[in-house]
């Protein structure tokens, strides 16, 4: 008995095991026809639902791609223009730059290429997080070393700030993806530098809280208004006043993606006028897990 949708056969209903060798009557056939029709309807419904889900996923990833492109194409232009301007000046045969001027151009090229690299790796990270292709590669690390390492890496951005670390002694080793968690700390540290005034304090800290190690970045900047606070971890979200500072609004979305992929949580505490602290937790897995 064919199972047919409106335009094609999608299956066959086979009936076996009539023990007495009696042939099926017209009534039986009628019942089988309605079975086949019901089966056809059910299969068709499943197929339509699958098609719809696939189309929605495609539309969503297309939407994400357009949103990413729209957000970054403008931001990518700024460092590129700065690099181009410096290089054009340096190779201009009609001008003889002194050493100081040359080194200033090279310095600018150096900083702007770093900025481009950071933006591109942020973008890649975000598309991996959103595409569900993110898997932390965890090893056992000393959190104190991570904090010191990030402080070193931030130092060149934060030369005009009082950057300090506060690490509780005797923290347990923790199982995490070093690259990802260092990236989280870097993104938080970069924000602290971007949104606060030079000369103020930025503190990177780590302490134990119950069964987690809590890492935090604290600043004494302008803070984030309470009404904006719930949105800052959304991609492309930038609070008022951020417009003057370069950025695409994806740094914190990446932090959230990385931390949650580790089974941790991230949240922000901030009061207007008295600074911002962003904390995140990394669960301490049991020592016996170390061998696995």
Where does this chain bind Mg ion (CB under 5 A)?
Answer: 191, 251
Of the candidates 109, 114, 107, 119, the residue with the CA atom closest to the CA atom of residue 83: 109
**Subset of 246-275 contacting ligand ATP (CB under 6 A):** 247-253
| Least distance to Mg ion, CB of residue 194, Å | 6
Q: What is the DSSP string of 98-159?
A: -HHHHHHHHHHHHHHHHHHHHHHHHHHHHHHHHTT------EEE-HHHHHHHHHHHHHTT-T
- To ligand ATP, the closest distance from the beta carbon of 174 in angstroms equals 24
| DSSP 8-state class, residue 172 | P
Closest distance of CB 193 from ligand ATP, Å: 9
Residue 174 or 187: which CB sits closer to ligand ATP?
187
Among 276, 279, 282, 284, binds ligand ATP (CB under 6 A): 276
The reply on whether position 281 binds ligand ATP by CB under 6 A is no
**Residue with structure tokens 């056969």?**
9
Q: Which of residues 97-116 bind ligand ATP (CB under 6 A)?
A: none
- Report in angstroms how near the CB of residue 245 gets to Mg ion at its nearest: 9
For Mg ion, the closer CB: 146 or 192? 192
| Residues within window 168-227 making contact with ligand ATP, judged by CB under 6 A | 187, 191-192, 194-195, 219, 221, 224
CA distances, 221 to each of 51, 80, 83, 185, 186 (Å) = 50, 29, 30, 17, 17
**Residue 290, token pair as written in the block:** 């170390």
Q: Which of 239, 259, 266, 282 binds ligand ATP (CB under 6 A)?
A: 239
In angstroms, rounded to a whole number, what is the distance separating the alpha carbons of residues 171 and 179? 20
Q: Which residue, 220 or 262, has its beta carbon nearer to ligand ATP?
A: 220
Measured from the CB atom, is 13 or 116 closer to Mg ion?
A: 116
Closest to 171 in 3D by CA, of 150, 142, 205: 142
Residue in this structure with the two tokens 């503190």, named with its chain if needed: 203
183/248 with CB nearer ligand ATP = 248
CB of 201 to Mg ion, least distance (A): 19
How many whole angstroms separate alpha carbon 153 and alpha carbon 160?
14
> Which one, 136 or 249, has the nearer CB to ligand ATP?
249
When the beta carbons of 154 and 174 are compared against ligand ATP, the nearer one is: 154
Q: Which of 83, 177, 204, 238 forms a contact with ligand ATP (CB under 6 A)?
A: 238
Instruction: Indicate the DSSP class of residue 219.
Output: E
* Angle between helix 99-130 and helix 251-261 axes, rounded to 10 deg: 50
In the complex, the residues that contact ligand ATP under the rule CB under 6 A are: 122, 187, 191-192, 194-195, 219, 221, 224, 232, 237-239, 242, 247-253, 276
């Amino acid at each position: 008995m064919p199972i047919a949708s409106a335009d094609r056969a999608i299956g066959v209903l086979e009936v076996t095991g009539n023990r007495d060798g009696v042939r099926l009557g017209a009534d039986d056939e009628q019942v089988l026809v309605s079975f086949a029709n019901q089966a056809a309807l059910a299969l068709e419904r499943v197929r339509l639902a699958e098609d719809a889900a696939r189309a929605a996923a495609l539309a969503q990833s297309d939407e994400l791609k357009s949103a990413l492109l729209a957000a970054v194409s403008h931001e990518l232009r700024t460092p590129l223009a700065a690099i181009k301007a410096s290089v054009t000046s340096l190779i201009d045969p009609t001008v003889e730059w002194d050493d100081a001027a040359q080194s200033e151009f090279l310095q600018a090229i150096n900083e702007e290429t770093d900025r481009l690299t950071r933006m591109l790796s942020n973008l890649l990270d975000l598309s991996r997080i959103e595409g569900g292709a993110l898997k932390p590669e965890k090893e056992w690390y000393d959190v104190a070393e991570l904090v010191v390492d990030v402080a070193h890496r931030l130092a060149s951005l934060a030369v005009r700030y009082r950057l300090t670390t506060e690490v509780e002694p005797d923290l347990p080793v923790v199982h995490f993806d070093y690259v990802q968690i260092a990236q989280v700390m870097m993104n938080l540290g970069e924000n602290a530098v971007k949104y606060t005034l030079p000369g103020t304090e930025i503190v990177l800290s780590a302490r134990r809280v119950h069964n987690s190690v809590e890492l935090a970045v604290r600043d004494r900047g302008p803070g984030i208004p309470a009404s904006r606070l719930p949105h800052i971890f959304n991609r492309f979200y930038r609070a008022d006043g951020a417009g003057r500072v370069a950025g695409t609004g994806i740094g914190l979305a990446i932090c959230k993606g990385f931390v949650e992929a580790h089974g941790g949580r991230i949240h922000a505490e901030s009061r207007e006028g008295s600074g911002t602290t962003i904390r995140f937790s990394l669960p301490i897995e049991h020592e016996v897990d170390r061998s696995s």
